[in-house]
Structure 1
């Protein structure tokens, strides 16, 4: 990490959007250690977004689910992931090794709480992944749809698949989604994981390109700041009804002066050009159902 709470890309976007003063105010929540309060937040997290890169340098985002204790605070500079309890695509483990950078967002979907951790892998064993913490930050509940656990098995059959051109059925999955997760990294290689949400249809699909509105957030631009300097990124969509996880890798391009309907931040948006995708079954126990949409979601306009 470069000096201060923000790197050059984050400061560039903060200034370009006129939100640099607000960013500095919110930047006081960024820390290089885990507070004692973080143990309580991590302790209730059952959803985890993970940002990693593969051997070719492509960025990927993966979603993991499990019981409370999925991710745990060991001390103020260390967390570990409980591998034995995680439901996650197996491809993740080919990208996690000692010394590798990693980004995490730990979430409780029932209370719309999330906590961000960036760092590097210290050790990998069959039981756990130990992570050295470099940066932490609590995030607000904006745009998180409440999801509630259900005991019934509501999943349909999902066959693993992969490719480069996005087929129609997966384009429809994206168009119907109210949630996705994005992985990014800065030029120094530090990874970051983040969450995005809105009403179904908030992400547009045109061929192999996604068009994503930039809803107003905490003004720190931890994701867009990375993308401003390093366009490689990964995205995950999950169909909570069928139990399908769609992982995409590609390149992002920012448009801070564009216009897009239903955007709560003056029309800003970014595009994501898909280079490769993989579809895997994602069947956490318990399953999830929609409880309520976030009250912060901007209305969709046509």
Structure 2
């Protein structure tokens, strides 16, 4: 729900106003397209992983990941991305993506610290993959991306759920507390989904209770696509990849942004804080057939709070 004057919906405009960043957002908004430029098409063909967010049939939002050899992502034309992969049977989004669905995606290049968002409508291609019609295409800055190189894992099995519940176990809380990267899917007007990246030093994401996660929002591109969605709809899904094993932790719940100075006091680099109330957790083994090299942390990462 945008207007001829702005690419942003009312929730994004509200978040930009709360942050005092409307002028910067207007400048950044010029980069939002509904087509895939040639440089982005080349970028897609080289990628090994795609983060994807969508709503499950029960309405909860999840984020997951797909992977393949270079070329599993292709720009079929300037409005279409073909994905030669689909969620496994145990994935919370398997049923949703078996039919038409609004999706938010990020094609990520950790080695080059590059990322590209493509949001739109997905349909099955009839061959075990997906075809996504682009509605928003955005190339984001390299901030907070930890540099990693993918490695193939020939002994990887099929993705399968090894744990599921409504709250985080002690081990899952430790996974969150040691993460340096996660991805968040949110939903805006008309059910349109966005997927975004968050990064920092281990400890920037905190599991404050079995049903609570919180994190600081660091300075970004001023579009406020994630926080703008949360201004209108609290549903959110988090993906925490295990870069060492190929496993993944998927979390769904409802998130709220605390814009107060008190909330961010003592948290280096934080401009605001977000807290997620967890309503569902799925842990996938062999979520991808990839592992990754040890991280080279982003020079943009603020120190974590003591």
Shorter-chain TM-score tier: over 0.9
Secondary structure of 2:58 counterpart: coil
Structure 1: which 5+ residue stretches go unaligned? Answer: none
Contact 2:185 2:195 in 1 (8 A): yes
Distance in 2 between residues matched to 1:36 and 1:273, nearest whole Å: 40
In structure 1, the partner of 2:44 is 42
User: CA shift at 1:265, angstroms?
Assistant: 3.9
Pairwise mapping of residues 17-56 of structure 1 onto structure 2 (< 5 A)?
A: 17-56=19-58
Residue 166 of structure 2 is matched in structure 1 by 164
Residue 87 of structure 1 contacts residue 282 of structure 1 at CA under 8 Å; is this kept in 2? no
User: Residues 283 and 191 (structure 1 numbering): CA distance in 2 closer, same or farther, change over 3 Å?
Assistant: closer
* SS of residue matched to 1:270: strand
1:105-129 C-alpha deviation (Å, 9 max, x unpaired): 0011111111001111244423321
Which residue does 2:188 correspond to in 1?
Answer: 186
Please identify, of 36-45 and 109-118, the stretch whose mean Cα deviation from structure 2 is larger.
36-45
Task: Report the equivalent of 2:215.
Answer: 212
Q: Tell me, yes or no, if the aligned pair for 2:252 and 2:280 is still in contact at 8 Å.
A: yes
Judge conservation of contact 2:118–2:137 (CA < 8 Å) in 1: yes
Q: Which of 258, 263, 266 in structure 2 is aligned with 1:261?
A: 266
Q: TM-score with structure 2 length normalisation?
A: 0.91
Distance 1:19 1:265, change over 3 A: farther
Secondary structure at the counterpart of residue 220 of structure 1:
coil
TM-score norm. by structure 1 comes to: 0.92
Query: CA 1:138–1:151 in structure 2 vs 1: closer, same or farther (change >3 Å)?
Result: closer
The number of equivalent residue pairs is 300
C-alpha deviation, 1:87, in angstroms: 7.9
Shift of 1:196: 0.5
Question: Among 219, 228, 231, which residue is 1:228 paired with?
Answer: 231
Distance 1:12 1:184 in 2: 16
Contact 2:183 2:195 in 1 (8 A): yes
Instruction: Report SS of the residue matched to 2:302.
Output: coil
Q: Is the 8 A contact 1:261 1:300 kept in 2?
A: no
Match of 1:270 among 274, 277, 288: 274
Residues 87 and 100 from structure 1, CA distance in 2 versus in 1: closer, same or farther, beyond 3 angstroms? closer
CA shift, 1:91, in A, is 3.6
In the TM superposition, what is the alpha-carbon distance from 1:235 to its structure 2 partner?
0.4
Matches of 2:194 and 2:286, distance apart in 1? 22
Match of 2:132 in 1: 131
Contact map agreement 2:246 2:290 (CA 8 A) in 1: no
C-alpha separation between the residues in 1 aligned to 2:175 and 2:239?
11
Higher mean displacement: 107-116 or 235-244: 235-244
CA shift digits 1:244-298 (9 cap, x unpaired): 21111100001111224344243x1110000010111135344212240011100
Counterpart Cα distance in 2 of 1:301 and 1:125: 49
Report how far residue 300 of structure 1 moved.
1.4
* Distance of 1:168 and 1:52 partners within structure 2: 27
Q: How does 1:1-302 map to 2 (within 5 A)?
A: 1-3=1-3, 4-83=6-85, 90-150=91-151, 160-207=162-209, 208-257=211-260, 258-266=263-271, 268-282=272-286, 284-302=288-306
Query: Shift of residue 67 of structure 1?
Result: 1.6
Partner-residue secondary structure (3-state), 1:141: coil
User: How far apart are residue 168 of structure 1 and its match?
Assistant: 0.4
Check whether the contact 2:100–2:123 (CA below 8 A) recurs between aligned residues: yes
Q: Which stretch shifts more, 169-178 or 290-299?
A: 290-299
**Cα RMSD between the aligned structures?**
2.3
The farther-off stretch of 127-136 and 175-184 is: 127-136
